[in-house]
Amino acid sequence: MRLKYEKPVITKVETGFMNKFGSSPLYARKIRKDIDGVSVEELVERFGSPLFVISERKLRENYKRLMQAFSSRYPNVQLGWSYKTNYLQAVCAVLHQEGALAEVVSKFEYEKARKLGMEGHQIIFNGPYKPYEALKLAAEEGAVINADHFDEIFELERVAQELGRQIKIGIRLNMDTGIYPQWSRFGFNLESGQAMDAVKRIASGDKLSLNGLHCHIGTFILEPEAYAREVKKMVEFAYEVEDKFGYSIEYIDIGGGFPSRIKLKGTYLSPDVLIPSVEEYAEKITQALYESLRPGDFPKLILETGRAIIDEAEYLITSIVASKRLPDGRKAYVADAGVNLLFTAFWYKFNVELAQEASGANEPAVIYGPLCMNIDVIDEGSMLPPLEKGSRLVFSPVGAYNNTQWMQFIEYRPNVVMVMEDGSVEVIREKEDLSDIERRERLPEKLKLK
C-alpha cells in the first residue's frame, strides 16, 4: 500500500509525566464507524450531511434506567417529558409510549402535545407565560397547571368562575438549595414567605384548590444533595399547607436539571469523575423523601428530567468541507454544521469522534461551522489527526436543546433520523428547502422583480 502524503508539521515535543491511560496524545483517537449498528457512511449516503441521528434504543434505555433508579426506591414516581428539551414528535412519542407525561411551558407546546395525542390530564402545564385562552383550555381539559405568579392565580380564578367549578392547581416555588446562581425568577419564593402568601390568596379566593408543588432549582446540577434540600423544603411546606388549609398535596414536582455525561467548558475534571450517576440522585432524593414524609404517605414524585434522557441518545454527523492553517500554527477545519444546529456548543466541549480511520499524528485543531459569522465555532480545540475534505465527524451528545433551539440561519436545517430498535432507519424530520422558509412570507405585488 502506498503511504499517503502528509504535510509536514512542527509539533512541540512534550516529555514529562507518563500518560496514565497509556496512549500517546499524538496517536489517541476516538473512532465511531456506526450508530446502533448502522454505518455512518451509509447514513450520510442515504440522508445527506450534516445529519442528526437519534437512537431509539438508547432513548428507551435512558428512560428506563432513570425510572428504575427512582421507582425501585419510591413507589410513586412519574416523569413529565420536558418538551422544550426536544419536542420532535418521534422523541416525544417514544417517551409517551414508555409512560411519560408531557411537560409543556407554552401554548405552542401545549397544542403540540395535544396534537400528538396526549389527553389534557396527561399534560403538565408550566411556564411563566400562559395566555388566558391556553390557561382556560388547559383547565377545562384537566391538565396539571403550576401557577408561576400572582397574576396567573388571578387569571385562574377567573377561569374557575367562568367554568363554574373549582380548579385544582399547583404552585411553583423557588428556594435556596445551596446552588449558585439561585433561580429566583420562577414561581414564589419560599424563604421570604411569598409562597405561603400565594397559598393564603388561593385559600381566601376559594375558587382554586391547591394540590401540588413544583420547583426547578436549576440546570446541569452536579450536586445531588441540592435536590435532597429541595425535597425536604417542599415536603415541609406541603405539610404546613395541608395542616393549615386542609388541602391535600398530591404531587411534588422537583423539576429537572440532572446533567448528561458531557464536559462543560470551564471544567477541568472529566465527566466520568465529575458527574454523579442517576442512582446517586435517586438515592439522595428518595432518602430525603423518606426522612421528611409522614409514614405511609406517598405523594407523587414528578421528575422533569430532559437532558439526562435525550442528550446522549442523539448524535450529529458532520463533514469536513475545507481545512486551513491558522496564523498561530493551529490546524482549522470548516465543517458543514455550525452553531446554527448546535446551540449547546456555547457550553459543551463535545465528544468528537472520527467516522473513519486516519493516519498521522494528532495536532491541535479548531472546528468552525459553515456560517459567515465569527462566533461559529463548534470545537475550540481538540487533538485531531490530519483530516481530508469529506471526512466525517460524529458529535455527541447533542439530544438536548439543539433540535428545539436550532435556527434556520444562513443554512437549511438537515434531516433528523431515528435508528429504530429493529435496526431500520426512519426520517423523523425532513431537511428543509426554500419553500419551508418562504412559505409564510408575502411579497407585496409592487416589489415583485419579474
Partner 1 sequence: MIGVKPHLKAVLNSYAEVLFIQRSPIIGFLIMLLSFLNPSVGVGGLVSVLSAYLFARFIGMGRAFLESGFYTYNALLVGLSVGYLFKITPLTLGFTAIAGVLTLIFSVMLYSVFSYYFRLPILSVPFVVISSMLYLSASGYSNLFVGNLYPHFNLQELELYTPLWLSGYLKSLGAILFSPNVLAGLLFAVFIFVFSRIMFFLATAGYYLGTTLKALLVGSLDKAFMDINNFNFILVAMAVGGVFLIPSLKSYVMAAVAVVVSTLVLSSVKSFWAAYGIPAFTLPFNFTSLTLLYVLGLVNFPMVARYIRRTPEGTLDYYLTYTRRFRGTERGIHLPFSGEWTVWQGFEGKWTHKGAWKYAYDFIITDAEGKSYSGTGDKLGDYYAFRKPVLSPVRGRVVKVVSDLPDNPVGKVDKENSWGNLVVIYDERGFYVELSHFAQNSVKVKEGDWVEVGSFLGLCGNSGYSPQPHIHVQVQTTYEPNSPTLPFSFVDYVCDGKFFSNFLPKEGEKVQPVHTSKHLSNRLAFAIGNEFFYKVYKKDKEVGDFTVRVNMDVDGTFFFETDRGRLYFGRYEGTFYFYRLEGNDPLLRLFFLAAPRMPLTEREVVWQDYLPMNVSLNYYQRAMLLFLASFNHKVFSTEYEGKILQEGKLIEGKVISPLAKGEAPTQVRIHNALGFAGVRVGDLELRLEKFSLGGENDA
Residues making contact with partner 1 (CB under 8 A): 68, 71-76, 121, 248, 250, 283, 286-287, 290-291, 295-296, 298
> In terms of CB distance, is 273 or 443 closer to partner 1?
273
Please report how close the Cβ of residue 333 comes to partner 1 at its closest, in angstroms.
Answer: 38
Q: Where are the alpha helices (DSSP H) in 48-131?
A: 56-71, 89-98, 107-116
Please report how close the Cβ of residue 30 comes to partner 1 at its closest, in angstroms.
Answer: 22
The 8-class DSSP code of residue 19 comes to P
Please report how close the Cβ of residue 73 comes to partner 1 at its closest, in angstroms.
Answer: 5
Residues present in the chain in total: 450
Residue among 123, 141, 144, 122 nearest 133 (CA): 141
> In terms of CB distance, is 64 or 207 closer to partner 1?
64
> In terms of CB distance, is 72 or 408 closer to partner 1?
72
Please report how close the Cβ of residue 122 comes to partner 1 at its closest, in angstroms.
Answer: 9
Phi and psi at 79, nearest 5°, equal -100, 135
Burial of 405 per CB tally in 10 Å (0-12, 13-18, 19+): middle
The CA angle 139-145-151, to the nearest 5 degrees, is 90
Please report how close the Cβ of residue 286 comes to partner 1 at its closest, in angstroms.
Answer: 6
> In terms of CB distance, is 66 or 417 closer to partner 1?
66
Q: Where are the alpha helices (DSSP H) in 211-339?
A: 224-245, 271-274, 278-292, 307-310
Please report how close the Cβ of residue 296 comes to partner 1 at its closest, in angstroms.
Answer: 4
> In terms of CB distance, is 77 or 377 closer to partner 1?
77
> In terms of CB distance, is 197 or 291 closer to partner 1?
291
Residue by residue, DSSP assigns 182-217 as ---SSSEESTTSHHHHHHHHHHHH-SEEEEEEEE--
User: Would you say 80 and 102 are in contact if contact means Cβ atoms under 8 Å apart?
Assistant: yes
